[in-house]
Amino acid sequence: MEASLERENRLVLDVVQAALGLISREVRAISFDQDSGQINLYIAVYERNAQVDEDVEDLVFELEALQDGPVVIESHVFVGAPNAEWSGNSGRRVYLAKET
């Protein structure tokens, strides 16, 4: 179990590092989970547009570069509040925007 937690914590740091400079005003929350060598990246946004899509692509690219080897990363963009309807709600949160 300890090794699993260490891997998850390392992935938290990787996601935060990959997201540096890529979190725009449209992003409400970011979380992830991992399953059988696949990383599911969940991003909740206020609205989906070309800039959001480009930022998500860049985030996935940067996250892939930080991994020790090949890994499948699936991104899931959700338009709306990071509430019970958001599939990333059950994942490990690494970013949550302050609601204004």
33-76 pLDDT, tens digit each:
998 789 999 999 999 999 999 999 999 999 999 998 899 999 99
If DSSP codes are grouped into helix, strand and coil, which group holds residue 43?
A: strand
pLDDT value of residue 61: 96
Q: Mean pLDDT in the chain? A: 93
Q: What is the DSSP letter of 98?
A: P
User: pTM for the whole thing?
Assistant: 0.91
Report whether 41 contacts 15 (CB < 8 A).
Answer: yes
- Residue 2 pLDDT: 55
pLDDT for residue 28 is more than 80: yes
